[in-house]
Structures are given as C-alpha cells and as structure tokens.
Amino acid sequence: MSTIWRIIGFCMVGMVGVMMSGCRLVKAPASPYEAWIPPSNDKTQQTVDPSWTEIRQQRTETNLALALMDLADIALRNSPSTREAWENARSSQASVDQAASAVYPQLTATGTGTRQKTTANVSSDESDYLTYGPGLQLSWLVYNFGGRAAAIEGANQLMFKSNYLFNKAIQDLLLAVAKNYYNLHSAQETLDAAQKTVDDARASLDAVKHKFEAGLAARPDVLQAQATYDSSIYTLESARGNIESARAMLAQSLGLSSDTPFTIAPPTDVFPTDFTRDQVSVLIETALKRRPDVASMRANVHAREAYIQVQSAALWPSLNVSGSANRNGFQYYDDAHTQDMNNNVYMATLTASWTLFDGYSNLSKKRQAEADARAAREQLRSTEINASADVWTRYYAYQTAIRKLNSSQTYLDSSQASYDVTFAGYQSGLKGVLDLLQAQSTVSDARSKWISSKAALFNALADLSYSTGNLQVKDLRGTK
C-alpha cells in the first residue's frame, strides 16, 4: 500500500515541476519596433562559449610554411561542414537500424498494481482489494507482402545518399581550401607586384625630378610623375588589405579563427596540358560514375522506388503473432482477515488483418510515393545533365586559362623590356615623360594580368578535378 502512494506522490511532484517550468517559457518580442531582450536563463548569452573556446584552441601545430596538402589535412580535421555531414550519415545509420528492427519481435515487460475499495450501499456489498503482478507481452509481424523488406531497402538507400553527401562535403571542403589557398598566394604575389610598381614609380619620379632640377623638365612633368607614384602607393595599401581578407577566407575553410597565425608555401607552376578534345567525353563519363552528388541522387531514386513497395504492401493483409504471460496477485480485505490469491495467465494469438476501406488513404499514399519516385528520377536526370555541362565548361575554362597564362607571360616579358628601354631612353633624352609613364603603366598592367592568369589556371585545374568527382588531396598542386 505504501509503495502505491509513493508512486502517486512521485507523479504529483513531476506534474508540479512541469507546471513550474512553464513559467520560464520564452516569449516573442513585445513590439515590432523594439529589440528583443534575452531573459536571464538564455544559454546563448553565457559568458563562456565552449564551441568558440574549442575553435580558439585549434592551432596549425607548426611554424613552417604550409603546403596545400598540409592545409587540406588541417581542414579535414577541423571543418564543421564535414563533421556535420558525418553526423547526418550516422543519423541515417540509426534510421537503417530502426527499419531493420521490424524483423524481430517486440517484447515488453509490464507491471501493474491497483488498490480498489467500494463502500456498501443498498444494492452492493462493500469490497476492498489489491491486484498486482508482472507480465510479458510479445508482438511479431510475420508477413506483410514485402513491405518490411522494402522499408529496410529504402532506409539503406537513404544511407547511401547520406554517405555520398558526406563524400561531397569532403570534396567541397578540398575545393574551398584549394581556391582560398590560391587566392591568398595570388594576393601575396599581387603585393609583390604592387611593390615593384611603387619602385618603378619612385625611380621614374626621381628621374623626372633630376631632370627638373637640371632644367630639362617642366613642373607639370614632376606633378604627373608624383601623381603616378601616389597612385602606386594607394594600390600597394589595397594589396595589403586584400592579403588579410584572403587569409581570413583560408582560415575559415580550415576551421580556424581568422586571427590564427600561419604562413603558406608557394604552389608549383607545373600544370598538366596533355588533355585532348576526345578526352572530354571520357571525363564526362567519369564524372557520372564518380560524382557524389550524382550518386546521391541515384540512391534517392532507389529509396523512393522502395517506398512504393512499402505503400503497396499496406494495401494487402498482414499476419501478426502476439502473446502474453502474466502473473496476477490478489489480496482481499475485510474486517476479519486478509485473503491472498495468485494465478498465471498465458495467451497466444495469430492475427490476420486487412484494411478493406480507409477512405483511399493507403492508395493515395502509394500514388504519392510513385509521383515522388518519378520526380526523383527527373531530378537525377537534371543532375546528370548539369554534371556533363559542368565538366565541359570546366575543361574549356582550363584550356582557356592555359592560353591566357602563356599570353600574359609574353605580355609581361615584352612590356618589361619596353619599360627598361623607355626608362633608359628617358634618361638619355630620347623619350618623353609621357612615354615613360605609359611604359610604366603597361608593365604594371602586365604583372597584374600574369598574376591573375596564373591564379585562374590554378582555380580552373581544381574546378576541373572537382567536376569529375575525383578531387583528392594528392591532386592539389603542392610546393616546389
């Protein structure tokens, strides 16, 4: 008797706790024009953020210049995006286990305790008794026309989809690291080029001032050379700012705080150039086999087709086996004495159930599953078409980048030679100040085009590898 009252008391305490917790429910902002003030129990406003503390504690673990492969390794260890995709895949694994659990019987343990007392009246006698006892209940789906197997297959296909999306997250991360690495390297080279432009502008300004002091140049020539020099200083400061922005983007893809110190090693300038037009078709076929986004769409189609069978099975009978075993205890109370009685109850049942009419609910679910499967197949076709177009575009972008780099190199060589000749000619009086400043502007433009062309080629190569679904750490351009 005391045990029953303890259980009742525990339940009452729980209900009071739920009611008290309701007093701390979060409310919407009080008005549409005033900022919402977080309550004191808002955990997002805690003074110590464990997630951010963990990020701040991450380091590159070396003072050496990091090659691209080193950066990719750091990113794979730290990236929240790949960890999120991994946890999603683990969630899908749990869904597979849930679907597979339908193969096994369900066994439930029960326990009951009831105290009932009825007072006497003119039509009944007084009764006072306690019933109690443990029990076991078993339920097992024996057969449902393949619906159970189809549900397991559907869960497996969704597991494939999650795993392929995890692979895609890795490829996305490698591409982001590669591009941000190339962009940072390009920003560093742009800074060096900007410094060379400043040096050239300083040399031109000194030469013009020297002639002005000798009476061989006019005051406007000095002012024009000074303006060109000041413009180069402005460009130099912009280049310094671009480096910090590029460094922050690379740190973000590495899963590091933006103020984490690190240096990078330059990439190699060796590029594969032996692609032929006939290989584009091979690359497209390779992409359709290896790209994880295409594979995930295929798995999604198979999952949708499996769920058609799940809904089809719901239109037919199912066969279930159930059973139970209970031990019942009885205690009867009266004024004279207490009487104890016990018995055991066993039951086994074989049930065939068939929903003959449900307002066409199951039939509609099957039709919906069929439409979802057809939509998923069209989505797959769209993904495959997009993949082929992506490979084609990336291939010719890479070929164009190669030709542009070669042209920019020729442009840089010729403009540098022209500037050297013009500078010497200006000092000897054979060239005017406009010739000198124009040659200086041309060589500065050539340096910029050469740097941007090289960065474009690095990015085009990474894009091409990514578009085939085969971007790996070993494919990234390392150091010299």
| Structural tokens at position 474 | 């070993």
353 forms beta bridges with 318
Q: Where are the beta strands (DSSP E) in 216-310?
A: none
Alpha-carbon gap, residue 384 to 386, rounded angstroms: 5
pLDDT of residue 479: 43
Residue 421, CA distances (Å) to 42, 430, 442 in order: 70, 10, 13
Residue 331, CA distances (Å) to 7, 57, 161, 325, 456 in order: 19, 66, 59, 20, 88
Complete domains list, the chain, with CATH = 146-316+359-480 (1.20.1600.10)
Q: What is the pLDDT along the chain (480 residues), one digit of tens a residue?
A: 455 555 556 556 555 554 555 456 778 888 888 888 777 766 665 566 666 566 656 665 557 889 998 999 999 988 899 999 999 999 999 999 999 999 999 999 999 888 887 776 666 667 777 888 899 999 999 999 999 999 999 999 999 999 999 999 999 999 999 999 999 999 999 999 999 999 999 999 999 999 999 888 889 999 999 999 999 999 999 999 999 999 999 999 999 888 888 899 998 766 666 556 667 888 888 889 899 999 999 999 999 999 999 999 999 999 999 999 998 888 877 766 677 778 888 999 999 999 999 999 999 999 999 999 999 999 999 999 999 999 999 999 999 999 999 999 999 999 999 999 999 999 988 899 999 999 999 999 999 999 999 999 999 989 998 999 877 665 555 444
Alpha-carbon gap, residue 147 to 74, rounded angstroms: 45
Alpha-carbon gap, residue 454 to 404, rounded angstroms: 9
Alpha-carbon gap, residue 190 to 179, rounded angstroms: 16
Per this entry, what is the length of the chain? 480
Per-residue 3-state assignment (H helix, E strand, C coil) for 87-124: HHHHHHHHHHHHHHHHHCCEEEEEEEEEEEEECCECCE
Alpha-carbon gap, residue 108 to 112, rounded angstroms: 13
pLDDT of residue 457: 92
DSSP 422-472: HHHHHHHTSS-HHHHHHHHHHHHHHHHHHHHHHHHHHHHHHHHHHHTT---
pLDDT of residue 59: 61
Residue closest to 174 by CA, chosen among 480, 465, 468: 465
pLDDT of residue 160: 95
pLDDT of residue 28: 81
Q: Are 308 and 145 in contact (CB under 8 A)?
A: no
pLDDT of residue 118: 76
DSSP 178-217: HHHHHHHHHHHHHHHHHHHHHHHHHHHHHHHHHHHHTTSS
pLDDT of residue 110: 92
- Tracing tokens 């259980």 back to the chain, one arrives at 7
- Residue 339: helix, strand or coil by DSSP? strand
Residue closest to 322 by CA, chosen among 302, 291, 347, 356: 347
Cut 0.85: pTM above it: no
| Structural tokens at position 306 | 């499996």
Rg (CA), the chain: 38
